[in-house]
Amino acid sequence: MHSLTFTERSSAPSFDWTSTAAAGSAHGEHKPAPVARPTSPSAPFAPLDAMPLVMAGVECLGHGLAVFDANARLHYANGAAQALLRQLGWEAAEPGAPCPLPARWLEALVKVCSKGRRELAALPRGEPRGHAAMVPIHSDGQPLAFVIFSREELCGAVELELFALRHGMTLAEGEVLRQLCHGMAAAAIARSRQVSVSTVLSQISAIRQKTACRTVRQLLHALSRMPQLRAAA
């Protein structure tokens, strides 16, 4: 995919994105991340080129991000969006060809690109069904739609593991937490783990104490606000 320069439309933000990170990952090239070393506070500050850093960070997001034109041609997609498009069977037959999107999506893209409207489109899978927000942007005068996909789960595996480690949970408590995020009740968790319900309830109580959450609802609310990350390639 080629470089994109997104210019401002009304109050929309301005972007200058170079999709080098996406291109490298698409060809299986994974370079180790540079090691950050502390410098002296008195050392002169040299601003870095922000866009390569932003693009590298975008590849770490669990949310799919993509850019389409009104003809359903894909101009950019981060790793999460590429994986989702493959899963849905929405990949283009060849570079530059329109993606086989549903009719409602095509209508929404036209509204976003031609009328500058924001749209919300439903994804065909998932329970509850996911959505994608579409926002109008411009690139060298060409109207485009910036698409932000929702996540399927309440909390992804990466941030769930970080949350459990941060609060000192045991492996068993981390697994119970994962099952709570999937909407399982204590009795169902006990059956799946082949333990008593009282054991699961004790583990849930320990999780709440370690996270300072009075209820499971408060715990799940905290997890739903976690930054959503994509597993490292």
Strands (E), the chain: 4-7, 15-17, 65-68, 74-77, 119-122, 131-139, 142-149
Its pTM stands at 0.70
Q: Dump pLDDT digits (tens) for 50-71.
A: 888 888 888 988 889 999 999 9
Q: Strand, helix or coil at 98?
A: strand
- Residue 128's pLDDT band (cuts 50, 70, 90): low
Average pLDDT over every residue of 190-195: 96
DSSP 175-227: HHHHHHHTT--HHHHHHHHTS-HHHHHHHHHHHHHHHT-SSHHHHHHHHHTSP
Residue 84 CA, chain-centre distance (Å), reads: 10
Is 11 a residue whose pLDDT tops 50?
A: no
Handedness of CA 44, 50, 52, 56 (dihedral sign): positive
Q: Dump pLDDT digits (tens) for 135-190.
A: 999 988 899 999 999 887 788 888 899 999 999 999 999 999 999 998 899 999 99
Q: What is the pLDDT of residue 194?
A: 95
Average per-residue pLDDT in the chain? 83
Q: What is the pLDDT of residue 225?
A: 87
